[in-house]
Structure 1
Amino acid sequence: MELRFNESLFRTIFDNVYNGIYVVDGEGRTLLVNKTFEMMSGFTNEELAGKTLYDLVHHYKYFSGAASLLVLERKKPATITYKTKTGKNLLVKGRPILNDKNEIELIINTIWDLTVIKYNDVLDKDTARDSYLKEEGFIAASEKMTEVIDTVLKLSNTSTTILLTGETGVGKSVVAEMVHRTSRRKNNKFLKINCGAIPESLIESELFGYEPGAFTGADKKGKIGIFESADKGTVFLDEISELPLSAQSKLLLFLQDKEFFKIGGRKPIKTDTRIIAATNKNLWELVKSGKFREDLYYRLNVIPINVPALRERTEDIPVLAKYFLNKFNQHYHAYKYFSKELLETFQSFNWPGNVRELENVIERLILLAPNQELTTEDFYRIQQKRKIVPKKSLQNMLDKFEYEILVQAKKEHVTTRKIAKSLGISQPKVVRLLKKHSLN
């Protein structure tokens, strides 16, 4: 009798938590899902139970990916977003449960529904490309990115202002969208504005709007600004460092009082709009040089989130690389794969363009590499054309110089014995070096 009570209590709790729950065993086989996940995904427990995540992703194509497969591969927690066959977009955090032998017994997946999101008109091509498309997949296996996602989820039901910092290409816009999609505002608008892409003369009218006849050339009907249009939603101000000082003062007033005046207007307009700002520059240095308001800096910097550079989270590199490989293989109907040495090269590379650069490099490799296997030689040849150099440590520079010498020597000499003679080293050492650089 007590056992039935415990099972009943467990099931009540399991089926009524806010998040979806998906439990698999150590072989990736679905054990059970809760009612919340059934409602989120459009699939029932009966449809999923007993099936492996590999089959659900690759055979049945119920899901475009699975955190559990990544957890099984790495034996570490992982976070990804994926789409379901029913059109849902979900964020999943998978956590392994290990036994005494350090083997995975269970994987507990916690799921958030990111599906509902609306966009309004956009102001430039970059914004349009980022907004409408695409719903790119998010994948993270590193501790640093896991911390970023944990922070995002903690803030999901608040309205606090967030400042995202990090280099170009690290994924700040992806994180901003995730903040919105995991919040109670997700049914309302998410508007992204690139502050550096709008002429200074137009930025105030775009953000705050204007009254009819406010200035020469103004629309006779006036205009609703971004902040008013996004009431109860989120505005993402990318490249906030490029915002002119005149607009900075009006933004400060809005952040303080949640109200603003249209250009030419005398009546304050109140809106409940959340602000997320992002920059790849040091705002404090701009404050000290008089190019950014100090009081606005403190208003924006309520919750700072630094999105780490790719070279600072090397655990994510092979995971992201394989994701992009699968993506472009499908897109171009290709069947290419990485050599082991190439994945190692990826992890030692500096990636000045971060995730965006990694994605572009893999697309070029699939399009330009002559063979099915993608090698380090292919990578360096493509990078040389792009005039991008690897991490500027002495060892990396020596390795690249060594690689180039070996490539030239292979062109001039047929055998490893002749290569050794030309370079003044032993033949076994030539063999080792060729293997090291995937030239054997």
Structure 2
Amino acid sequence: MKFYAPHPASKGGTRARPAFIDGPEFALFLNGLPDATAFLELDGRIRLVNVAFERLLATGRAGLLGTDLTRHGRNGEDLLLGAATALARLQRFEGRGAIAGQPNTRAMLQVLRSGEGTPYGALLVLTPPERGTAPLGGTFRFLTEQNPPDAGPVLSPAHASAEARALRALTQASPLLVTGETGTGKTAFIRRIAGADPDRPLVHVACTSLTEANFTAEMQGQDHAPGGRRAGLIEAASGGTLCLDHVEDLTLPLQARLLALLDADSFRPFADGGTVRLVTATVVDLSALVAKGAFRADLFHRIAAVRVTLPALRDEPDMIPALTQRIMARINLHRHPPLSLSPAFTQLLLGHDYPGNIRELENILAHAATTSGAQATAEDFTTPPRPAAMARPAGTDLRSQVQAFEEGLIADALASHRSKRSAAKALGIDVATLIRKTGRARHSTPNKE
């Protein structure tokens, strides 16, 4: 096996290591391999590993990267030491032995060279006996065993920092405002930080469902409701968290009523004596709405004691390989044959700007899973059109632009699916939300004469 540098020699000499080794494509390639695989520097240090390698050695990535291969020889007796010795001599190595309790594991080390024959690293592949000796494939294949859907979340440094701040806010019962573009995973983020404890309820409500007619009954409950007393959202969240999603959709009168309700003297009685942690979420810049008079400044400061912003996917392109692996693991859980991604498809995936963020990445891969056979090619790469972004009327405010973009996504989903239920599933929302949003779109569309 050889990997050749994709660029010609320059006047200053050749670059020993191909550029793609340090890019996300190579990490994606390693994570797509079914066998435990590591990329080694020539001095024996481990530079990259895939999930299967971590599992086989029972050591996390942090305990592997940057360490000398010989340090882990205790896990593989003479096998890893033999591979390290061969690498020092720039020789190919094959052998069998026990690694981390796995007897008869096959190890293969291949020195990688540039087109001019200059060595720049090595691949170490460890194959447990139950996997056989299948050769490495040339496609990007994602198997469920490498990254099961119930594994921990894929977190970038920015996400991890936001999660740590949010958890501290909830621990201190400080009102938390979560912002981020559509599709950045705000709902999943809130569920992760607030819904992990089964003894602490998480009540999630879309503010678009709150009206002046039902606000009091929804928030505070009804003592004489048909069929008996009906608890409100605050009481249901007692001891846990109340999440108000799309808080920007509240009208100014409802904002005033929410502010009055959030006053401690009004809030506690309906919480049945328990503390209710408040989380709000929005896709817009509330401070900009405050400046325009579309959102109350006093309410903004009341709900935004702590603010966290989830980054857009285009700002974190290094996350695309890990997110792709997680999504593909979920897709391949019940797909036969398992889907693999061709290099051409992968290049398109890595080069896209994702205005719909993580949700758009999920939709692209879900579409490829339905249109392709065993491997997704460039022809299977489809992105939704962007009518709102391409035809943005001058002078339109941010809220209208967001609504227009959302309506475009909904229209595309309805056109691409047989039912509202499947369209809602593709968009990552429930059917009731889809029906409500399509109804709002009809009412907001001017009559054409």
TM-score class, shorter-chain normalisation, is: 0.5 to 0.7
Instruction: Calculate the aligned-residue CA RMSD, in Å.
Output: 3.7
Residue equivalent to 1:255: 262
- Checking the alignment, whether the CA contact within 8 Å between 2:176 and 2:303 is kept in structure 1 is yes
Q: Please name the residue that 1:333 is paired with.
A: 336
Decide whether the 8 Å contact of 1:193 with 1:236 is kept in 2.
yes
1:173 aligns with 2:187: yes
SS at match of 1:223: coil
* Secondary structure, counterpart of 1:140 in structure 2: coil
Percent of aligned positions that are identical:
25
**Separation (CA, whole Å) in 2 of partners of 1:331 and 1:258:** 52
Partner of 1:72: 49
* CA positional deviation for 1:149: 2.8
Residues 240-389 of structure 1: matches in 2 within 5 Å?
A: 240-257=247-264, 259-260=266-267, 271-369=274-372, 371-379=373-381, 382-383=382-383, 386-388=384-386
Letter in 2 for 1:287: V
Q: CA shift at 1:268, angstroms?
A: 10
**CA distance in structure 1 between the aligned counterparts of 2:170 and 2:199, rounded to whole angstroms:** 13
Aligned-partner SS, 1:139: coil
Alignment of 1:92-171 (within 5 A): 95-96=62-63, 98-99=65-66, 101=68, 139-155=153-169, 157-171=171-185
Task: Quote the Cα distance in structure 2 between the aligned partners of 1:311 and 1:290.
Answer: 31
SS class of match (1:308): coil
Asked whether the equivalents of residues 240 and 276 of structure 2 are also in contact (C-alpha less than 8 Å), the reply is: yes
1:193 aligned to which of 186, 199, 205: 205
Query: Which residue is 1:208 aligned to?
Result: 220
Aligned-pair CA distance for 1:331: 2.8
Provide, for residues 66-90 of structure 1, a one-character-per-residue CA deviation record: whole Å limited to 9, x for no partner.
Answer: xxxxx8339xx9xxxxxxxxxxxxx
**Offset of residue 269 of structure 1:** 6.7
Q: Shift of the alpha carbon at 1:151? A: 2.4
**Is contact 1:338–1:373 with CA below 8 Å preserved after alignment?**
yes
Rounded to whole Å, the distance in 2 between the matches of 1:104 and 1:360 is 42
Kindly state the Cα deviation for residue 191 of structure 1 after the two structures are TM-superposed: 0.8
Flag the 1:98–1:362 CA change in 2: closer, same or farther, 3 A.
closer
Query: Is the contact made by 2:242 and 2:276 (CA closer than 8 Å) also made in structure 1?
Result: yes
Q: Is the 8 A contact 2:166 2:176 kept in 1?
A: no
Amino acid at match of 1:150: A
How high is the TM-score relative to the length of structure 1? 0.52
Mark the CA change 1:375 to 1:197 in structure 2 (over 3 Å): closer, same or farther: farther
Describe the SS at the equivalent of 2:334. Answer: helix
Which secondary structure does the structure 2 equivalent of 1:201 belong to?
Answer: coil
The alpha carbon displacement at 1:375 in A equals 2.1
Alpha-carbon spacing, 1:291–1:261, altered in 2? closer, same or farther (3 Å): farther
Equivalent residues, number: 264
What's the offset of the Cα at 1:179? 1.8
CA contact (8 A) 1:164 1:304 kept: yes
Secondary structure of 1:163's aligned partner: strand
Cα deviations across residues 166-213 of structure 1 (Å, max 9, x unaligned)?
Answer: 01111111111122145xx6412111101113444223321122343x
Q: Could you tell me which amino acid in structure 2 is paired with residue 376 of structure 1?
A: A
Conserved? CA contact 1:141–1:319, under 8 Å: no
Pick closer, same or farther for the CA change 1:388–1:345 going to 2, 3 Å: farther
- In structure 1, what is the Cα distance between the partners aligned to 2:61 and 2:192? 17
User: Given residue 332 of structure 2, which amino acid in structure 1 is its aligned partner?
Assistant: N
Give me the whole-angstrom Cα distance separating, in 2, the residues matched to 1:102 and 1:290: 61
Q: Deviations over 1:334-379 (max 9, x none)?
A: 321112332232222121111111111111101112x422122320
Structure 1 stretches lacking a partner, 5+ long: 1-53, 56-70, 78-92, 107-134, 213-217, 393-440
1:29-44 equivalence runs, <5 A: none
Q: Using structure 2 for the length normalisation, give the TM-score.
A: 0.51
Question: Using a 3 Å threshold, how does the CA distance of structure 1 residues 210 and 321 change in structure 2: closer, same or farther?
Answer: same
Instruction: Please give the alpha-carbon distance, in whole angstroms, between the structure 2 residues aligned to 1:97 and 1:329.
Output: 28
Distance 1:137 1:202, change over 3 A: farther
Rounded to whole Å, the distance in 2 between the matches of 1:156 and 1:260 is 17
